[in-house]
């Protein structure tokens, strides 16, 4: 299979659950269906100024979130709004669902993983009721940040529609 073909190989379980991904090292996949936006366009300096690291963001079109890489869940906030995954190669990725959503104290979030668990790219991380977030007045943008300092390259085009499990960007040590 060609390199390009591997990026497009995805099988959805059909139930909003696990997505089968033919994973490649250094690739970070979209954790959710939606529209790609740049970190610079996120209305929070912590992300837009890349204080935590580089990456991309996705405005989700549904509430089914999957792991964008394989590894160990190093952090899983009890509120369900953020997850940190570390790959076997040392790449660390933060998935932060929405802005200021920690203030919801878990309302609208159904975590599917716990800290210390091993996940494969495509495994379900969380089910999120996006309407709960919107009704509370919070943006739903989801930031996917490389916190280990790796360079982010080969990013998906901003404003493009993306499906969970499709390549969002590449990383280099």
| pTM: predicted TM-score of the whole model, two decimal places | 0.89
159 CB-contact burial (10 Å; exposed 0-12 / middle 13-18 / buried 19+)? exposed
Catalytic residue numbers read 96
Residue 33: both structure tokens together: 């269906």
The total number of residues shown for the chain amounts to: 173
Which residues, including other chains, have CB under 8 Å from residue 105's CB and lie 6 or more apart?
A: 79
- Structure tokens of 127? 């089910």
Domains annotated on the chain, with CATH = 3-172 (2.70.70.10)
- 130 touches 142 (CB < 8 A): no
Per-residue pLDDT of the chain (173 residues; tens, 9 = 90+): 223 333 333 344 445 567 888 888 899 999 999 999 999 999 999 999 999 999 999 999 999 999 999 999 999 999 999 999 999 999 999 999 999 999 999 999 999 999 999 999 999 999 999 999 999 999 999 999 999 999 999 888 888 999 999 999 999 97
């Amino acid at each position: 299979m060609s390199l390009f073909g591997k990026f497009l190989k995805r099988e959805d379980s059909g139930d909003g659950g696990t997505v089968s991904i033919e994973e490649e090292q250094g690739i970070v996949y979209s954790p959710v269906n939606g529209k790609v936006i740049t970190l610079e366009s996120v209305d929070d300096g912590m992300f837009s100024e890349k204080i935590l690291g580089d990456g991309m963001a996705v405005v989700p079109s549904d509430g089914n979130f999957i792991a964008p890489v394989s590894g160990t869940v190093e952090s899983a906030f009890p509120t369900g709004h953020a997850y940190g995954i570390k790959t076997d190669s040392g790449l660390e990725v933060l998935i932060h669902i929405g802005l200021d959503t920690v203030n919801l104290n878990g309302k609208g979030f159904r975590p599917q993983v716990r800290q210390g668990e091993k996940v494969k790219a495509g495994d379900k991380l969380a089910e999120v009721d996006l309407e709960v977030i919107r009704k509370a007045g919070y943006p739903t943008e989801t930031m996917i940040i490389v916190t280990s300092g790796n360079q982010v390259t080969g990013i998906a085009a901003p404003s493009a529609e993306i499906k969970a499990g499709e390549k969002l960007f590449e990383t280099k040590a």
